[in-house]
Structure 1
Amino acid sequence: MEQVLRFEAHAFGRPYHAARVRIPARARDTELHTHADFHEFMGVVSGGGEHLLTTGVEELRAGDVVLVRPSDRHAVRGSADGLEFVNVAFPSSLWQGFLDLTRTAGWSSRGPVGFHQPAAVPVFERALDRFQTNPSTYDLLRFWTDLLELLTPGEPGAPGVPDWLAKACTAMRAEENLRGGVPRLLQLAGVSAAHLSRSLRAAYGVTPTAFVADLRLEHAASLLAATNTSIAGIASRCGFSSQSYFTRCFSTAHALTPSEFRHRSQRAFVP
């Protein structure tokens, strides 16, 4: 059965979670799972294997770095020599805020993103070491900064995020703005609809409608996992016109109804 993993189940208030994962030769695949409310970076330290995705199978080898987003259904398989990687998980809200603040483009499209960068392995090891001694948010920021200096997503010369767009995108995470939808995003941006659409596509690879929908579903997933608010209440808080419409959208994105997602997330863990 597919699992839905929730960040706070094992983070216990810490800003990120880090672990060394070893999959021996001939071991069974890890369980297929999705993330309720967090992103994770996987840094392959040694050995090799396969990343099992709904879109296909991708090879894993020492020096590979993979970013996995919420709702990406995935599992990991070790090769005949086994597989060892360091996993660093962190709340999606903090990650998006970091991207907006630093005007970093190329990380917000859907689906896992992979790189081969052996120099990144020490960055993961340092993050794991810091995690063992009561890590701070600053330690998480250092991990992101050190890692992004080595990784260059997207097309060469991809434009940065303009200040006005970064501020508008950050402000849209507030519930009162989410309820206002694309019209509210336009107000916050202070530009024409056409200019907003062009800028969002260039910076994040999505339309304004898709951007708002993703934020609403991300916030809804967090509320389902972390609160006892009714599904109708969550639909209203996130800006959906009705509970039935919210259920259709959520089920399409997660392949689970909101009720099923909530039930599974309550038993979730971060590996």
Structure 2
Amino acid sequence: MEHSLFLGTKSKRDGASLAFSYCGISQTEAGHSYGPSLTDSWVFHIVLSGTGEVHTSSETYRLGADDGFLIHPNDITRYQASRDTPWAYLWFAMKGDAIPEYLDAMGFSHNTVAFSVDRSTPFLRVLSSALYHTSDNIADQLELDALANHFLSTLSRHLNSVDQNGFPNQLSEIVKRAISVIHNEWHPGITAGWVSRRINVDRSYLSRLFHKETNITLKNYIDRMRLSHARDLLGMTDLSVAEIAAECGFNSEEALTRSFHETQSMTPTEFRRSRNGVVNNLGIGINFLRAAFNADAGLEDD
């Protein structure tokens, strides 16, 4: 479980050169895992304290305070807090055709995941400034887009290094095939049994091997992909929760709600509301966060 303060917007802004998507800050509990998930945004994370791991299809990165990681659009990523020192992190997501060019100028490659910054306070100030703009009017949308630009300029000023070396994931060909099938042949009724039949491997053997190599069961991996699809539909459509549950392969609306609350610490309805405003189960007030990082003093860095 994680305790989060989350700000989102329903504005798609797909044609913009750079546009705000969502942002937030989380304190995780020991061992909390997020993903695998897919996103259509560039999602920057800055680790504030504690430690954790980021898992891509090919590498694992072990990160701590003042490290960061970037989730690229349409990449499959999973990340997990340490059981001894669970991390806290902030995230800032954006879309836009201009982003790859900006990242290239900072030294990011097309597959850069991990990086480090000299300190996290300037990023907290950008985040706290975003929390002033919670309405759905064009003025606040433009302010949030400007803060997306400011987040990137802050990153360019405080970036220490990029392309930190990860640890290669030693996945067998069988597990790689299973993951490929799940991603490329996704459908609402997909199950562990279907995947095992699709790649012609005994289900029990595949399940044991998958868990051993990825530290997550095959069933949970599929369930989390269902949640990823559900999040997308909650944020981008007006389908009812019951319709989304059926579309994503859940047995009922209650099953989706239960899984959503266990992993997101909020209900599907609360998540949908957060796409157009603030949801806060972090345990601190928004005004406290604003004051703590001096948001009303302007956007200047230290």
Q: Relative to 1, partners in 2 of residues 1:190 and 1:221: Cα closer, same or farther, differing over 3 Å?
A: same
How far does residue 37 in structure 1 lie from its aligned partner after superposition?
5.9
Query: What per-residue deviation string (whole Å, max 9, x for no partner) do you get for residues 75-132 of structure 1?
Result: xxxxxxxx9x575542574134xxxxxxxxxxx4633699xxxxxxxxxxxxxxx947
Aligned residue number for residue 42 of structure 1? 46
C-alpha distance in 2 between matches for 1:16 and 1:184: 40
C-alpha distance in 1 between matches for 2:83 and 2:110: 20
- 2:214 paired with 1:214: no
Aligned residue number for residue 212 of structure 2? 202
Percent same amino acid at aligned positions? 18
Name which of 133, 137, 140 aligns with 2:101. Answer: 133
Equivalence map 1:64-143=2 (5 Å): 67=54, 85=66, 87-91=68-72, 93-96=74-77, 108=78, 110-111=80-81, 131=99, 133=101, 141-143=110-112
Contact kept, 8 Å, 1:177 with 1:184, in 2: the verdict is no
C-alpha distance in 1 between matches for 2:194 and 2:14: 34
Query: How many residues are paired up?
Result: 196
Name structure 2 gaps, 5 residues minimum: 29-33, 57-64, 85-97, 116-161, 279-302
Contact kept, 8 Å, 1:165 with 1:189, in 2: the verdict is no
Amino acid in the other structure paired with 1:42: I
Aligned residue number for residue 266 of structure 2? 256
Contact kept, 8 Å, 2:9 with 2:274, in 1: the verdict is no
Q: Relative to 1, partners in 2 of residues 1:260 and 1:41: Cα closer, same or farther, differing over 3 Å?
A: closer
SS of 1:133's equivalent? helix
Aligned residue number for residue 5 of structure 2? 3
Name which of 234, 251, 257 aligns with 1:224. Answer: 234
How far does residue 191 in structure 1 lie from its aligned partner after superposition?
0.7
Normalised by the length of structure 1, the TM-score is 0.53
Tell me the C-alpha RMSD between the 2 structures. Answer: 4.8
How far does residue 41 in structure 1 lie from its aligned partner after superposition?
4.5
Normalised by the length of structure 2, the TM-score is 0.49
Contact kept, 8 Å, 2:188 with 2:248, in 1: the verdict is yes
Aligned residue number for residue 55 of structure 1? none
C-alpha distance in 2 between matches for 1:68 and 1:203: 12
Contact kept, 8 Å, 2:70 with 2:114, in 1: the verdict is no
Q: Relative to 1, partners in 2 of residues 1:199 and 1:40: Cα closer, same or farther, differing over 3 Å?
A: farther
Query: What per-residue deviation string (whole Å, max 9, x for no partner) do you get for residues 174-219 of structure 1?
Result: 6753422222222223211222122212221111221111111122
- 2:252 paired with 1:242: yes
Name structure 1 gaps, 5 residues minimum: 18-29, 44-49, 52-57, 60-64, 70-82, 97-107, 115-129, 154-158
